[in-house]
A and B are shown apart, each in its own frame.
Chain A
Amino acid sequence: AQTVTQSQPEMSVQEAETVTLSCTYDTSESDYYLFWYKQPPSRQMILVIRQEAYKQQNATENRFSVNFQKAAKSFSLKISDSQLGDAAMYFCAYRSAKWGMDSNYQLIWGAGTKLIIKP
């Protein structure tokens, strides 16, 4: 069974600095998707960034980028120029890409990392 581990329960960073959140996963599959979600104190979970395992290029969305190391099963999130609005819980998630499988519905989640932004 697949698992997702976020080893940092809490991280803090000075405003405008860069922070990296770590995520490792365990799977025997070769094709899958990885996601980072953000949940601010208002509780609405939103997608930050997505990576397809077959793509070698790391995904980037504005100040957010990932370091995807497929062999090491690592999927870290880098936030550049941190802003107060980035304060939130960040969740890493995995989903199988085996086409047509009912397991496609299941996102495997990490326990989350609480990110604190210091002004």
Chain B
Amino acid sequence: ETGVTQTPRHLVMGMTNKKSLKCEQHLGHNAMYWYKQSAKKPLELMFVYSLEERVENNSVPSRFSPECPNSSHLFLHLHTLQPEDSALYLCASSQDPRAGSYEQYFGPGTRLTVT
């Protein structure tokens, strides 16, 4: 595997379900990100981890819970979601941007549908 991978690629869940999204990066980066991408809206940054420590949490509802067990893996735990949470969830990684103009590398995304 190369780059940033995400599983599953598609997920349909009911509002009472609990599921998790997984992201893995094979680039040796030390920062990882979760984004939400909805149609016709700019990407929304949800969470950032750098060196396995959460750096930013952009007022995301508590029904989204991130976990970063090491610098290569990032999870997004989902529970009691709402239909408006249906979107494409993108994971990205980079070197720590505080040290330079490091770009973010993205995974293919998980298309989430909440029924």
Contacts and interface: CB of A to CB of B under 8 A. Distances in A.
Interface of A: 4, 9, 33, 35, 37, 42-47, 50, 52, 91, 95, 97, 99-102, 104-112
B21 interface: no
Contact of B103 (A47, A104, A108, A112): A47
26 contacts: A33-B101, A35-B103, A37-B106, A44-B107, A44-B109, A45-B92, A46-B106, A47-B103, A47-B104, A91-B42, A97-B101, A101-B98, A102-B55, A104-B97, A105-B31, A105-B33, A105-B48, A105-B50, A105-B55, A105-B97, A105-B98, A106-B56, A107-B43, A110-B42, A111-B41, A112-B42
Contact of B90 (A45, A102, A105, A111): A45
A44 B108 contact: yes
A92 B14 CA distance: 34
B45 A107 contact: yes
A4 B105 CA distance: 20
Interface of B: 31, 33, 40-43, 45, 48, 50, 55-56, 88, 90, 92, 97-99, 101, 103-109
Contacts of B50: 105
Given A42-B108, A100-B98, A105 B56 contact: yes
Contacts of A105: 31, 33, 45, 48, 50, 55-56, 97-98
A52 B97 CA distance: 13
A71 to B, nearest CB: 21
A99 to B, nearest CB: 6
Nearest to B108: A44
B69 to A, nearest CB: 20
B45 A106 contact: yes
B106 A107 contact: no
A118 B103 CA distance: 30
Contact of A109 (B42, B97, B99, B101): B42
